[in-house]
Amino acid sequence: MKTLYFEGAGSVPRGMVENCRIRTAFKNDNGESIYLEMSGFEVTKNSVNSVKKFTIAGIVDHCHYIFNDDDCNKHGIISMRHKTFEYSKDEILSIVNSLGCSFNEVVILPDLAGYRVFKDREGHNFGDEFQFNAELTSRAEEIRAHFYALEKSEGKQYPNLSLWVDQDNKEMLHLLRHFNGYNKHWSITNSENWQESIVETVLGKCAC
């Protein structure tokens, strides 16, 4: 099974696709590196006629070859420019494979799976190279739920925290909590004994 993973970069699902905005980078069968970003939206009576044949319309927002200069305008793939389609897993897979690939499936990952198409400094992380760990992802979501419930219990009507996976160490989580006038950051090892691993550390940004 040859799988291409996408980062879910939006905030809500669209139809049967888990996220309304998805993006990835990958190599096709010829070894060419490609960046692809798509989004989906519901078709209504006010939608333009060109998408009314769809239930959930998808559009290719960005599609270009990746070179060292990373000039998306210079290396854009013309056939994909503003391409519209039915926003479904099957159609997304079809579009990917039309770029010279032979993937068997596409998977849209949740935020805490740790896949980010853009590296922290420069360059891309490739969705066809990413190693998805369902156990780590599930536990990270439980950890986020724990701190969300904690902030609710402290009286916050709208809990305000950030939890994300370290780009270099997929077993390390970063927790950022916002208080009145200051922030605090902790490092957490994503393990069965994660509560024993919490250490307040310097983040080097966000004033903490």
Q: Is the pLDDT of residue 70 over 70?
A: no
Residues 3-31 pLDDT 10s? 999 999 999 999 999 999 999 999 999 99
- For residue 51, the number of C-alpha atoms closer than 13 Å in the C-beta half-sphere is 20
pTM of the model: 0.92
Q: What is the mean pLDDT of residues 175-180?
A: 94
At residue 50 the predicted structure's pLDDT band, cuts being 50, 70 and 90, is confident
Question: Given the DSSP bridges, would you call strands 21-27 and 3-8 parallel, antiparallel or unpaired?
Answer: antiparallel
pLDDT of residue 161: 96
Residues 109-141 pLDDT 10s? 999 999 999 998 889 999 999 999 999 999 999
Q: CA nearest 188: which of 176, 201, 200, 198?
A: 198
Other beta carbons within 10 Å of 153: 9
Write the CA distances from 107 to 10, 92, 128, 146, 160, integer angstroms: 15, 10, 10, 26, 29
The whole-chain average pLDDT of the chain stands at: 94
pLDDT of residue 122: 85
| SS3 state of residue 94 | helix
pLDDT of residue 121: 80
